[in-house]
Amino acid sequence: MARKFSPWPTRKVKKPKQGTHACREFFLSWDQINQLLLFVMNSLGRMDEIGKTAHETLVQFAEGEELARLNEEWKGRRSALQGLADQKQIFCEIFFVRHVENYLNYLSSLLFEIFTQKPETLKSSDSITIEKALSHDSMSELAAEIAEDRVASLSYKSFQELNLFFEKRFKVGLIQKHEMSKMVEFVETRNISVHNRCKVNKRYASKSGNSSIKMGQLRTMTLTDVDDLASIVATSVRSVDTEIRKLLRLRGARFKKSTEKKTDARLLK
């Protein structure tokens, strides 16, 4: 039988049954990323099994030089999974970066929901012009634009600054303390993957806390990194969403029983 890989991530994550729109969209994307990774791995595993079966069938009918040739070719054969292993770095980076971006997008989307549903949370010393205020037909429209501007400004912050903002404003931490350093390093790894081909630069060296890699060296990536990240961000979203909804009484919705096997088109509207 073809090799079948276990569900991803390997650390079981209990997904929520209800939450904000931001939470629902996060887990839809989270499932899609994991499903694609499994699809690629299982497809290559099936290709290897088919190749093995074909070889075993051929050698049963071969003799002499033909048999020797088939066996020699099989010895030098590289499997599909070995071929993927040769591209391990870029393969892992693709899924790693997508998980980080999905998580950061969740935080931005959650903040927008908070600020638009609860405009009173937009406590700030920032001022707006009378012209800007009068350009909107309602206070809700004005609040939505201010919220969008506030979310945009926060999106440029480091992960530590984002976590501090949530702690000060809502008394909710984003990540469990024992995993904070790992998440900070993961976010900085995403940054060098996107902007520097995953080679260590000054920002990574100063902010990641990882001193084991020298400047200019490649931050190597493994499927264990992807697995750890997928579990950490899913656990974070489940916890943060539950706490924020309870604290601020945000509107939410019940999710479909499973977002893994079937995507409800209505959820994507």
Residue 239 burial by CB count (10 A; 0-12/13-18/19+): exposed, middle or buried? middle
- For the chain, what is the mean pLDDT? 86
pLDDT greater than 90 at residue 119: no
pLDDT greater than 90 at residue 101: yes
pTM for the whole structure: 0.84
pLDDT for res 204: 95
The structure tokens listed for 106 are: 């969740």
Q: Which of 1-15, 161-175, 201-215 has the lowest mean pLDDT?
A: 1-15
Q: How far is Cα 72 from Cα 63, in angstroms, rounded to an integer?
A: 13
Q: How far is Cα 143 from Cα 72, in angstroms, rounded to an integer?
A: 72
pLDDT for res 147: 76
pLDDT for res 264: 38
pLDDT for res 36: 95
Report percent pLDDT > 70 for the chain: 85
Residues 6 or more apart from 59 whose CB is under 8 A from it? 67, 70, 71
Section 132-151 average pLDDT: 70
pLDDT greater than 50 at residue 30: yes
pLDDT for res 268: 30
pLDDT for res 267: 31
pLDDT for res 13: 82
Section 210-224 average pLDDT: 95
100 — pLDDT class (breaks 50, 70, 90) = very high
